[in-house]
Amino acid sequence: MSTLWHGRFERGPAEELLAYTVSLPYDQRLFPDDIDGSRAHVRGLGRVGLLEDAEVQEILAALDRVDAELTDGTFEFLPSDEDIHTAVERRVTEIAGPVGGKLHTGRSRNDQVATDLRLFTKRHVALVAHRLVEVQQVLLTRAEEAGDAYLPGYTHLQRAQPVLLAHHLLAHGWALSRDLDRLLDARRRLDVSPLGAGALAGSSLPLDPESVADDLGFAGVFDNSLDAVSDRDFVAEVLFDLTLVGVHLSRIGEEIVLWASEEFGFCRLDDAYSTGSSMLPQKKNPDIAELTRGKSGRLIGNLTGLLATLKGLPLAYNRDLQEDKEPLFDALDQITLGLSAVEGLLATTRFDHTAMAAAADAPTSSATDLAEHLVAGGTPFREAHAIVGALVRQHLDEGADLAALVAEHPDLGPSAAELLGPGVAARRRTTRGGGGPGPVADQVERFRARLAADRERLPTG
């Protein structure tokens, strides 16, 4: 079996070695980036005179053919193709003949794979960013449609104060805005070409890494060849950013699971975005929402696994780095699918405004408003808290009607009892960023503007 290192070795690799070290099954998806990288490298060799024009053209033509074969599925892989880089170079040489042997001039698989992975990550982070914005759009649309609908806001999953449904939905929207920001920021930082770093130290040949970086559309070029071939910070960063998206989807999912339960009854899932039970005819299950919770565990595993792989690696390239790809690919795939699924889930879920209002209008939901009413009349807050707390206790222990207790109380009275009316408490939060109609209307405006600006920032191409 012929290898890239056959000159130095008397014997070929053991079968077990190849079985254990091969990365082709998963890194073949890097092929468009590998071919783009090779095209730019060959053009670069031509510009500095290391290849004749005719040689450049011959290798480029062979690369075009390899590209077509890989695209249409006619490319035949051989058992000796350890990874996508080996396979492409082997096939280029078969097609172009001996000149194919010049493709790898001044290059190592170490700078090659780092280049491929950066190009790939740049493209895929852009796709995730586009999907994220669509989920934000759905949250905005649902918030606009929700109007003045309100539900209990919770702390400790205990009813706390009513808030508008729009407020609740946009809370998730802002989390996704931060995710988008982080992903675009990581993308900007990874936009650096490692090509020309060679195996670790650069080259004695007159390469021009800057022009090759330009050709590949990178914003910058490496400053240190050791760093260029061994840096996987960008994989770690993107994995963290994707994991946090996953955690945010998981939190949305958990609320949908709760809201769709008969106990809450705040929403009904669309048939197309829920599943039935094989045994229980009445069931409608929130599987997408549950899987966003489940898959977030796997995303956290991808991130921690990669960090453990990187920890303790000496400079520069080590084969351990090959373990960067599967966690990254898996996280990108899962988040891309998850965002589409959650987009559809949120777009089609029917919110039950009546059930939400009924839960929010429980008399105790206005307890804080009663205390604030006393504060407005000059009572110190601690005292107000104790007065209302005592009334709530009486209401719960003795079953006395809270509105009647309030109306009869010397410090409160009938005007305070009106605070217990349906929807009253939901309208009383007026401060910036709060959950009442005034601040929520401002917030919707700000979210809309932010989303429009974010759309402008989305990478094209």
Segments in 73-195 forming alpha helices (H) = 84-96, 109-146, 165-189
Indicate the residue among 110 and 177 with the shorter CB distance to ligand ARG.
110
Residues with Cβ within 8 Å of 216's Cβ and at least 6 positions away in sequence, in order, are: 36, 37, 40, 115, 119, 193, 195
**Least distance (Å) from ligand ARG to the CB of residue 318?**
9
Are 401 and 395 in contact by the 8 Å Cβ rule? The answer is yes
Residue 83 C-beta: closest distance to ligand ARG, Å: 4
CA–CA gap between residue 158 and residue 164 (Å, rounded): 17
Q: Which residues are catalytically annotated?
A: 156, 277
Shortest distance, position 126 Cβ to ligand ARG, whole Å: 22
| Strands 220-221 vs 192-193: parallel, antiparallel or unpaired | parallel
CB nearer ligand ARG, residue 51 or residue 70: 70
Interface residues with ligand ARG (CB under 6 A)? 23, 27, 83, 109-110, 113, 317, 319, 321-322
Q: Taking the CB of residue 126, how many other CB atoms lie within 10 A of it?
A: 16
What DSSP letter does each residue of 44-62 carry, written as one string? HHHHTTSS-HHHHHHHHHH
Q: How far is the CB of 23 from ligand ARG (least distance, A)?
A: 4
∠225-47-96 over CA atoms, to 5°?
Answer: 95
Amino acid found at 12: G
Cβ 197 to ligand ARG, closest distance in Å?
Answer: 12
Residues 388, 370: contact at Cβ < 8 Å? yes
In a 13 Å sphere around the CA of 435, the CA atoms on its Cβ side amount to 21
Cβ-based nearer residue to ligand ARG, 81 or 361: 81
Q: CA–CA separation, 129 vs 270, rounded Å?
A: 26
Tokens of residue 255, six digits: 């609320």
Report the C-alpha gap between 125 and 266 in whole angstroms. Answer: 34
The closest of 360, 421, 381 to 161, measured between CA atoms, is 360
Nearer to ligand ARG, 109 or 428 (CB): 109
Residue with Cβ nearer ligand ARG (36 or 83): 83
- Shortest Å distance, C-beta 182 to ligand ARG: 26
- In the bound state with ligand ARG, the residue whose beta carbon lies nearer, of 234 and 317, is 317
CB 427 to ligand ARG: min, Å: 59
Q: 3-state SS of the chain: helix, strand, coil percent to 5?
A: 65, 5, 30
Based on CB atoms, which residue is closest to ligand ARG, 57 or 322?
322
Phi-psi region of 411 (alpha: psi -120 to 50; beta: other; left: phi over 0): alpha
DSSP reduced 3-state for 384: helix
Q: Which is nearer to ligand ARG, 113 or 384 (CB)?
A: 113
The span from the CA of 338 to the CA of 336, in Å, is 6
Cβ at position 109, least distance to ligand ARG in Å: 4
